[in-house]
Structure 1
Amino acid sequence: MRFGQLSKRSTYNENLSLSYIFEDFSSSMYHLNEAKVIAEKLDDKQLLADIEWRNYPFICAVFGHVNGISTEDPAEQAHIEIVKGNDHLARAILNEMTINTPLLKYYYGLATRDKDLLMESCQDFIGKRSDHFFARLPLRAAQGSFC
């Protein structure tokens, strides 16, 4: 398989792993691991970093599997702390960042239990990114299923 095809296959698996965040942890992790194997073969340092420091902790946090999970990404550190119930620490981490993306608004809304901010995040996912899929995260939280 050519380099370009492998790269596309890795990205495909990475995206597919995220598509399972509302359904099944095992399927999500299976595809993320497939993406990681391919990224390692390609020695794609950027993709490996995205997988290890963002996507892996994100998926684990969405499913509540945060024991032993760490990351260098501050947003995902905050996400992990929210799931652990350490909202104060999560807010401290997020307060060091500019809350200007729908995902960061989602995390801050979770950490503060602010339904208005969660709905703003939902609206930003849809209005600014046309992303109805990830808009389900803050919507679900605002409806009472925090984290």
Structure 2
Amino acid sequence: MEDNNQIQDTQTIFKPFRQNGNETSLHIVYKAMMTRYDSNQALALLKEFCLTSLSVENQRRGLELLYMSSFFDELEELIRVNRKSENEENRQWAYIYGIMLERRKTGEKLDPYKMLAGLDKLKPLSQEVEVLKVFLTVYSYNTLRKNGTVGSYFDTLHELTNAIDDPLMVMYFQERLEDFLMFYHLLRNELILCRKYGYRLINRTHNTFKHCVAHQKLALTYALENYEQALYHSNEALSIAEQNGYTRLSHVVTDKNFPFIAAVNGVYEGVTTSDPIEQAHLDIAKGNIKEAVKVLEEIEQPSPFQEYYLGKALNDMDRLLSAYHRFTRSGNHFAAQFPIHEIKRIRKLDIEILEEHRLA
């Protein structure tokens, strides 16, 4: 009975936007919902509106709303609707969002060469499809760590987005670009720019999932600069994740972010993690070197981070340099700063020891 009442209430809410067989544009509905309800309620209603839309324009634009609002299960449902559409442009949108959803499901490990080959065959039927095609192209080159190629597309994205008529799509495409730029500048270790776009996402978007991710990334940018600021953003990310049931993100913050940032700053009191590798990092901070090395040396093919941890534990310059080069070769210049930080610490220690011997 409660479900029927809820459906009836939704139908009543949507009635003004569906009159005489016509449906109001998603942009107008978005503005109305955001004016009348808090952001979470408004997005929940907009989700239902997209899923029950009979307008081909709203059905395809609803894909972007669902994607940017992190409604991935519902996105899959609307992709199926658009795939069956008689409208060819809607089928193009469905093709693109099918790829985007697959990237999300596979942890962005979808073959970038396969993506680029498929996109090369796509002949966009609208400006929006052209923008989406360019975004996917950028994501592909980013996966390949071709930073120069990625950067060459930013002006194109701005120009294409500004030429779009629909204000809702312009808003989402600009938000999508700023979201990407936050990650792009983080990898390039351009932290001021990364923070600029991170704070914009927090202040402009209504998507709590993106707020959580932005705080989580911002915390990392302060790991070597300001421990208290890093803790603040980690706590904000955790609070948002717990309030909204973002289990995976909550796990990332508690088991990865907190212990990593703490260990980097030599802090370990009261810090816990269920991740054995991050526990090893904490043990290094505690001075429990034997315990840390035992865990890390058992890894047959250590990641660059694991090699960095082992180099840090053993004061091993070769391992630290190897980790640094592996990070830079993969395009992660931000992560490369951590082994460099340890190399500088060891060199400073060596200089201090030599100075002590000289004065003795």
Q: TM-score, normalised by structure 1?
A: 0.92
Aligned residue in 1 for 2:339: 138
Equivalent residues in 2 for 1:1-147 (5 A)? 1=39, 2=43, 4=70, 5-128=207-330, 130-145=331-346
User: CA-to-partner distance for each residue in 1:63-98, whole Å, 9 max, x for gaps?
Assistant: 111012221111111101111111111001112323
User: CA-to-partner distance for each residue in 1:4-59, whole Å, 9 max, x for gaps?
Assistant: 41101100000000000111111101111111111012101111111111111111
Q: Distance in 1 between matches of 2:292 and 2:281?
A: 7
Q: Aligned letter for 2:258?
A: Y
Check the 8 A contact 1:99/1:105 in 2, yes or no. no
Instruction: List runs of 5+ in structure 1 lacking aligned partners.
Output: none
RMSD of aligned alpha carbons: 1.5
Q: Aligned letter for 1:144?
A: R
Indicate the larger mover: 133-142 or 97-106.
97-106
Q: Distance in 2 between matches of 1:122 and 1:143?
A: 13
Check the 8 A contact 1:122/1:138 in 2, yes or no. yes
Q: Distance in 1 between matches of 2:346 and 2:273?
A: 24
**Deviating 4+ runs (over 6 angstroms):** none
Q: Distance in 2 between matches of 1:39 and 1:139?
A: 32
Shift of 1:134: 1.4
Q: Aligned letter for 1:41?
A: Q
Tell me the SS of whatever aligns to 2:345: coil
Indicate the larger mover: 132-141 or 8-17.
132-141
Which structure's residues are more often helix, by fraction? Answer: 2
* Count of residue pairs brought into register by the alignment: 145
Shift of 1:99: 4.1
Q: Distance in 2 between matches of 1:84 and 1:133?
A: 25
Q: Aligned letter for 2:337?
A: R
Indicate the larger mover: 94-103 or 84-93.
94-103
Shift of 1:124: 0.7
Check the 8 A contact 1:91/1:111 in 2, yes or no. yes
**Change in CA separation of 1:134 and 1:71 when aligned onto 2, cut-off 3 Å:** same
Higher relative contact order (CA 8 A, sep 6+): 1
Check the 8 A contact 2:315/2:346 in 1, yes or no. no
Shift of 1:144: 2.4
Indicate the larger mover: 104-113 or 63-72.
63-72
Check the 8 A contact 2:312/2:342 in 1, yes or no. yes
Shift of 1:111: 1.4
Q: Aligned letter for 1:20?
A: Y
Check the 8 A contact 1:39/1:45 in 2, yes or no. yes
Shift of 1:143: 2.1
